[in-house]
Amino acid sequence: MIKAIIGKKLGMTQIFNEDGMIVPVTVIKAGPCTVVGKKIKQSDGYDALQMGFEEAKSFRLNKPTLGKFTKNNLTPLKVLKEFRDSEIDGVNIGDVIDISIFNDVKSVSITGISKGKGYQGVVKRWGFSGGRDTHGSNFHRAPGSIGQSSFPSKVFKGLKMPGHMGMNKKTVLNLKVVKIDADENLMYVKGAVPGANNNLIYIYAADKSGRKLHK
């Protein structure tokens, strides 16, 4: 059975474990997701399941996407995600994948888009120490020298400079599953999850090293 699902980060809180210790956790709404497409190695070159998450109004979808749901008599969904190398045996279009697939999973790896920080300087973006804050100094939070003048008369690619920070695809490996609430489709994992509250995330069952079991 596939061990991956689409979810949404709700926020952080803390709960007590069986030993009475406080554990900081991230609360995730995981699924339910509907299988809207299926690819097999014989015809498509690889095995994969396409899952949808959260209902959408039909007029907000373009015709090709809406046709996918109409063809299979499915409710239109906002988010579509393909999970490759999935265990697709016994799974059909229209089946619902819920949080119960993680009942025996102890750790997960989660992929999301990190928080956007806008345009930032080198001190915040790269952790530069900067210059002195004393009176008379003309070097505080500037990047300093970025190259030579006569030779090679250019700035090398990859130099750490001011620029856009955040909004990158990040994966946090091997987060411990602390609690699963099947009635509310909630998962509590120990630690931080990339992205802001209400951001979409993709949850994968992980092995002991944190490696995702699906792509």
- Per residue in 83-129, pLDDT tens? 887 677 777 888 888 888 888 888 889 999 999 999 999 999 999 99
Cα 132 to Cα 124, 142, 143, 146, 213, distances in angstroms: 16, 11, 13, 19, 49
The domains located in the chain, with CATH, are 4-117+168-205 (3.30.160.810), 118-165 (no CATH)
Confidence of residue 75 (pLDDT cuts 50, 70, 90): confident
CA distance 164 to 120: 6
Better-scored residue on pLDDT, 18 or 125: 125
Summarize the confidence of residues 3-8 as an average pLDDT.
89
Both tokens assigned to 188: 């509590």
Predicted confidence (pLDDT) at residue 2 exceeds the cutoff of 80: no
Better-scored residue on pLDDT, 124 or 71: 124
For residue 78, give the amino acid letter: K
**pLDDT cut 70: percent of the chain above it:** 95
Confidence of residue 144 (pLDDT cuts 50, 70, 90): confident
Three-state DSSP class for 6?
strand
pLDDT, residue 57, reads 85
Out of 15-24, 92-101, 138-147, 156-165, give the one with best mean pLDDT.
156-165
Respond yes or no on whether the N-terminal peptide bond of residue 152 is cis (omega within 30° of 0): yes
pLDDT in tens, 162-215: 999 999 999 999 888 888 888 888 999 998 899 899 999 999 888 755 555 555
The reported pTM is 0.81
